[in-house]
Amino acid sequence: MDTAVLRAEVRAQLAQIGQADIVIGIPSYNSARTIGHVVRAVQAGLAKYFPEHKAVIVNADGGSTDGTMDVVRQSSVEDYKPIMLRERVEPIAKLAFPYSGIPGKGSAFRAVFEIARTLDAKACAVVDSDLRSITPEWIELLVKPVLEGGFDYVSPLYHRHKFDGTITNSIVYPLTRALYGKRVRQPIGGDFGFSGKLAQFYLSQDVWQSDVARFGIDIWMTTTALANDFKVAQSFLGAKIHDAKDPGADLSDMLYQVVSATFDLMERYPNVWMPIHGSEPVPTFGFEYTVGLEHINVDTSRMLHVFREASRNLGDMWLEILGNGDLREVERLASSDDESFRFPPGLWTRVIYDYAIAFHRQKMSAAHLIRSLVPLYIGKTASFVIEAQDMDQAEAEAEIEKLCKEFENEKDYLTTHWRQP
Amino acid sequence: MTEFVEMMFVPLQELFEQFKAFLPGLFAMLVILVVGILLAKLIELILTKSLTAMKFDGWSDRMGVTTLMRKGDMWGKPSAVVGTVVFWLLTIVTLMGGMSALNVDAIDQLVAQFFGYLPRILSAVIVMVIGYVLTGFVSRAVLIATANRGFHYAKLLAEAVRFLLAVLIFAMVMEQLQIAPSIVLAAFSIVFGGIVAALAIAFGVGGIDAAKRVIERETMEKRAEEQKDEIEHL
């Protein structure tokens, strides 16, 4: 048993616990403001839906300086009566410790997988520490399909504002769906359920010294489950509201992390994704309901300004990646006015496939390549905002569905060029 | 008559004696040349294969070395070009070594000078290659970072960075080769100092209002972006 990533005191605590049916992981970094609510929601969820199961809550912390781990240790549901529950039969153990290894969410997850293996857990889930909208039902929805439905991986399904999650909606979801043939709507959702068997499989992969340990763990978990034929489902969790985003978080860093992780996985599984055509839905659990979402302000004129300036400055680089035909289309697009600005789905699909092919052929450094995608992505996002301005949630979703179909229909373009030397 | 024959024969004999003394050296030079060139060819072959196996060509593509070669009308694979360069370097070294086997003072001096200068040539080549790769990488990073923020003069700025770095690298190469080092140092100081002084004067005196406007616009745009764009990209 390799528990090298766990400290001696954690191993001692695990030895005391012995075995557990359910492990819930909460990776954290300076989340003292929100993690208390998350811990209480998890405790209530375990008490309400899994009272007969032995469960452990694991907080793998990345060296917080705001007392996150103290909050975890102090947080508990004091009184079960207001939430109409009796005291649960099995007590819930709680572990809070700083994880070892490369700093990043991936290393935190690795510690959770290690604990799941050590405790021989049947089902696990991981939830973000900055969630404000988590309810006890999330635990049921992420764990029950594994524990009682025989599924290995449960992806989240949220209701989000039509302008939120644009990297997911315009790149990760359409691409993952076209590549692996499964309609997993939130492949990088951040809150997942998985079986003990899958946790062990994750641990056996030689990725923990790579970028997966730092970032890209979400898409890696989803793709690994899809590409290795594990049983995948998704659960409707309602709205995803979390703490105000980090104002220092840079779009180009985010895009680089997500897209490079997705392209890296394409390199790993070409024999899996190449023969797949079309896609099929995955079983979905949970009761879908409409969620009232806050209005979002978007300044499309500034976004289009960035796109147009970049098309003047990055033309030579884009030519190398997109080729002459698509570059001409992008330049035509840049010269159109704000009202009529529409990024055609076919062009966007080829842009993403061209970038994947350029990444595969190592045309330039991965960081430069993917960061040069930022203005194109901004243009695509602005186009979607303009198009979907007056659409309701369902109509906006239908637009995303159209884009996904385009990715599926154009997949031959990707496979043909991928194979060429 | 006998004297006349002797007059002709003695120089010929001396020439023959000199040639006899020279012959082993010549033979040694030929052997050194043949063995050296064969070894150089073998090393070229091994080096090219190893570089191909290490995916050196892909790395060169990414770093812009291939583009530089194409601009210089070199159409071979980068690994093959490195192999060829090493082959010719070794051939020149072999030739110099072979010539020293002739034991001619003038050639010996030339060979000694060549070998004394060789490390400088090698370090200059290394500085040039690393400098070129670094220059391309940094200027491209500047281009992307500024273009992604919607900066109008992104390309101009990237080219300026490329030019400044190229000047720096050129000065370093000249310094390595010891070609008029004092003039190069003075020229470099004047050019670099001149650029910095010009920028300082342009921004500090002539362009103070323009600089203020640029900074204000950038700050306002940033604030507006923070206030208006509430999209969560992930």
Rounded to a whole number, what is the distance in Å from the CA of A122 to chain B's nearest CA?
A: 30
Q: Give residue ranges of A with CB < 8 Å to any B CB.
A: 160, 163-168, 188, 245, 247, 251-252, 254-255, 258, 296-299, 302-303, 305-306, 309-310, 312-314, 317, 361-365, 368, 371-372, 374-375, 381
Residues of B in contact with A254 (CB under 8 A): 233-234
User: What stretches in chain A show pLDDT beneath 50?
Assistant: 1-3, 247
Lowest-confidence pick of A301-305, B101-105, B160-164, B227-231: B227-231
DSSP symbol at A131: B
B145, B150, B231 member nearest A309 (Cβ): B150
A165, A306, A371 member nearest B150 (Cβ): A306
For residue A131, count other CB atoms closer than 10 A to its CB.
23
Long-range Cβ contacts of B16-23 (<8 Å, 24+ apart): B22/B102
Look up tokens 């373009």; give the residue.
A413
Q: What is the pLDDT of residue A88?
A: 57
A57 in Cβ contact with A95 (< 8 Å): yes
Dihedral over Cα of B53, B54, B57, B61: its sign = positive
- CA separation, residue A284 to residues A170, A273, A325 (Å): 22, 23, 41
Residues 6+ apart with CB under 8 A from A385: A163, A298, A300, A303
Do A305 and B155 lie within an 8 Å CB cutoff? no
Phi–psi pair at A123, nearest 5 degrees: -140, 150
Lowest-confidence pick of A175-189, B134-148, B174-188: B174-188
| A192 or B78, greater pLDDT | A192
Rounded to a whole number, what is the distance in Å from the CA of A2 to chain B's nearest CA?
A: 33
* Nearest residue to B129 via CA among B65, B213, B183: B65
Distance CA B64, CA A322 (A): 18
Residues 6+ apart with CB under 8 A from A300: A338, A382, A385, A386
Residues of B in contact with A299 (CB under 8 A): 224-225, 228-229
Look up tokens 């099995």; give the residue.
A90
| A155 or B131, greater pLDDT | A155
**A73-129 pLDDT, tens digit each:** 888 776 666 665 665 556 788 888 898 888 888 999 999 999 999 999 999 999 999
Distance CA B165, CA B132 (A): 9
* Nearest residue to B166 via CA among B184, B147, B139: B139
Residues of B in contact with A250 (CB under 8 A): none
Looking at chain B, which residue has its C-alpha nearest residue A316? B155
Q: Tell me: pLDDT of B129 over 80.
A: yes
pLDDT bracket for residue B222 (50, 70, 90): low
- Burial (CB count <10 Å: 0-12, 13-18, 19+), residue A138: buried
Q: What is the 3-state secondary structure (H, E, C) of B53-80?
A: HCCHHHHHHHHCHHHHHHHCCCCCCHHH
Q: What is the pLDDT of residue A1?
A: 42
Q: Count how many residues are written for chain A.
A: 421
Phi–psi pair at A28, nearest 5 degrees: -145, 160
Q: Tell me: pLDDT of B205 over 70.
A: yes
* Mean pLDDT, residues B206-218 taken together: 71
| A325 or B2, greater pLDDT | A325
A111 in Cβ contact with A52 (< 8 Å): no
Q: Tell me: pLDDT of B182 over 60.
A: yes
Is 0.90 topped by the overall pTM? no
B232 in Cβ contact with A158 (< 8 Å): no
Q: What is the pLDDT of residue A240?
A: 85
Q: What is the pLDDT of residue B176?
A: 86
